[in-house]
Amino acid sequence: MSIRISKVTKRFGHIEAVKDVSLEIKTGEFFTLLGPSGCGKTTLLRSIAGFNQPEAGEIYFGDKRVDKISAHKRGIGMVFQNYAVFPHLTVYDNVAYGLKARKMQTDEIKPRVEKALQMVRLGGLENRLPNQLSGGQLQRVAIARALVIEPQVLLMDEPLSNLDAKLRVEMRGEIRELQRQMKITTIYVTHDQEEALSISDRIAVMNYGVVEQVGRPWEVYSTPVNRFVAGFIGTTNFFEGEGTGQEGLVRVGEVLLKVPRVIRPAGEKVFFAIRPEAFKVPEQIPDEERADLFRLQAKVAKVEYLGYMTKYDLELGKSLNAKMVSYDVLPENLRREGESLEVLYDPQRVLVY
């Protein structure tokens, strides 16, 4: 089932929680709404679900306009952050609840519930009560409950945020796998950029009720359209410099840095960003590629060794620092604090705003 959201606005009093948002989600797509707390993700998801009524705009499931019809007629399954599992009902009865509410016959209910529980790997735990389950199992009950009605659209609002870090990573893989098997169109809400990058077909990055960028994970990471997206997704070094009148050269303090294609008059402000992994040390670069790279001298201010990678704080100038990450794990290539080094980067990878 494809979903089309057209110019949706939702207000609470004078707060515009969602402002004129338009999105198109493809059939079977895993689509994520990503943004900081309060940016309108839940509000937009609830508009799609039918739990609130937008002041303006239209929502379509396939060709059918749904924004005026009630939530239980939209064919959606919803998973909430706090599970919303009934504490006094067994696992079985929690999952069967939606089917009973739909007046389905008992002999039809049983196989559907069993199938949903198998899918989330809870087979055998039918008679447990919620207080006998772990956080991960509770969330699986909530997912089974959403899936048992065989919805055409699955909506998930920060479903993993109550779990600890390790379980979160495990469960996001399970959710993705389940979604692939069922090919169910899914809209997933999270404020966690790494989770969004790892799980999604496409991501809409939201801020203050608007969608700043829509793209595949590597698109929003490698070509963020503005400072907000560049800063919110991943780690980045922001620089504020001044034009020099020479093509591609920008002065930041006493340091000259190269950026792509920009000729700015001396003194004009230039704002740009370089990802930590864009900085390389000479031994990582084959000779024939060095000519295209910009080189500068730096000093290692801090080293954080993590085994599979190393994080460096570099001093590029008196009061100009930058972060660099290196996946070179050879001990002889580790740099030490206080050491001087040459760093290189490809000016084409610099993002100018």
Max Cα-Cα span within the chain: 79
Asked if 18 contacts 54 with a C-beta cutoff of 8 angstroms, the reply is yes
Nearest residue to Mg ion, scored by beta-carbon proximity: 42
Q: How far is the CB of 349 from ligand ADP (least distance, A)?
A: 31
Alpha helical stretches, state H, 120-258: 135-147, 165-182, 193-199, 217-222, 227-232
The whole-angstrom separation of Cα 109 and Cα 95 is 10
- Tell me the per-residue interface mask from 91 to 120 with ligand ADP, x by CB under 6 A, - otherwise: ------------------------------
In Å, how far are 5, 53, 298, 340 from 302, measured between CA atoms?
Answer: 47, 52, 12, 12
- Cβ neighbours of residue 22 closer than 8 Å, sequence gap 6 or more: 5, 6, 7, 8, 57, 211
- What CA dihedral angle connects 120, 217, 283 and 318, to 10 degrees? -120
The whole-angstrom separation of Cα 159 and Cα 152 is 19
Q: How far is the CB of 260 from Mg ion (least distance, A)?
A: 37
The SS3 assignment for 110 reads helix
Q: How far is the CB of 101 from ligand ADP (least distance, A)?
A: 25
| Residue 279 in tokens | 């900085």
Residue type, 193: Q
Work out whether 42 is an interface residue with ligand ADP (CB under 6 A). yes
Nearer to ligand ADP, 12 or 353 (CB): 12
Nearer to ligand ADP, 41 or 112 (CB): 41
Q: How far is the CB of 79 from ligand ADP (least distance, A)?
A: 14
Work out whether 187 is an interface residue with ligand ADP (CB under 6 A). no
43-62 binders of ligand ADP (CB under 6 A): 43
Nearer to Mg ion, 42 or 237 (CB): 42
Q: How far is the CB of 245 from ligand ADP (least distance, A)?
A: 44
Q: How far is the CB of 256 from ligand ADP (least distance, A)?
A: 41
Q: How far is the CB of 41 from Mg ion (least distance, A)?
A: 5
In Å, how far are 31, 202, 208, 218 from 197, measured between CA atoms?
Answer: 11, 9, 21, 8
The whole-angstrom separation of Cα 139 and Cα 347 is 45
CA 54 from centroid of its chain's CA atoms:
24
With CB under 6 A as the contact rule, which of the stretches 37-45, 222-230, 266-274, 335-343 interacts with ligand ADP? 37-45
With CB under 6 A as the contact rule, which of the stretches 34-42, 69-77, 91-99, 269-277 interacts with ligand ADP? 34-42
Nearer to ligand ADP, 39 or 296 (CB): 39
Q: Which does 12 bind (CB under 5 to 8 A by kind): ligand ADP, Mg ion, none?
A: ligand ADP
Nearer to ligand ADP, 191 or 275 (CB): 191
Q: What backbone phi and psi angles, to 5 degrees, belong to 300?
A: -80, 115
Q: Which residues bind Mg ion (CB under 5 A)?
A: 42
Q: How many residues bind ligand ADP (CB under 6 A)?
A: 11
Options 8, 41, 163, 255; binder of ligand ADP; rule CB under 6 A: 41
Residue 157: CB atoms within 10 Å: 20
Residues that bind ligand ADP (CB under 6 A): 12, 15, 17, 35, 37-43
